Amino acid sequence: MNRRCSSRTRCTLPVRPSTFGDADEPGPDLAVLLGFVADGGLSPEIGWRGSWERFDEAIQALLERRVPGKAVLDVEPDSQDRSA
């Protein structure tokens, strides 16, 4: 993929007929996004992290714009539900 990036400009891509978010084929979109991260053109910042049980706090913080970046919900297996 031909990307043009520099420290002073945003990364640009050749025109594509599709858009991001194609659930049928996420691979190409993920490759583009990972390329942006590798080139320094995209910084995946995590501004809030907590248990999925605190999702209401995460949503409120996002709605109030108190979170710079992304909110990540950690999902852990229930210690009582181990059927392995």
Q: What is the pLDDT of residues 35-55, one digit of tens each?
A: 988 998 888 889 999 999 999
Phi-psi region of 3 (alpha: psi -120 to 50; beta: other; left: phi over 0): beta
Of residues 72, 31, 24, 25, the one with CA closest to residue 51: 72
Q: Is 61's pLDDT higher than 50?
A: yes
Q: Is 15's pLDDT higher than 70?
A: no
Residues 51, 74 contacting (CB under 8 angstroms): yes
* The overall pTM is greater than 0.75: no
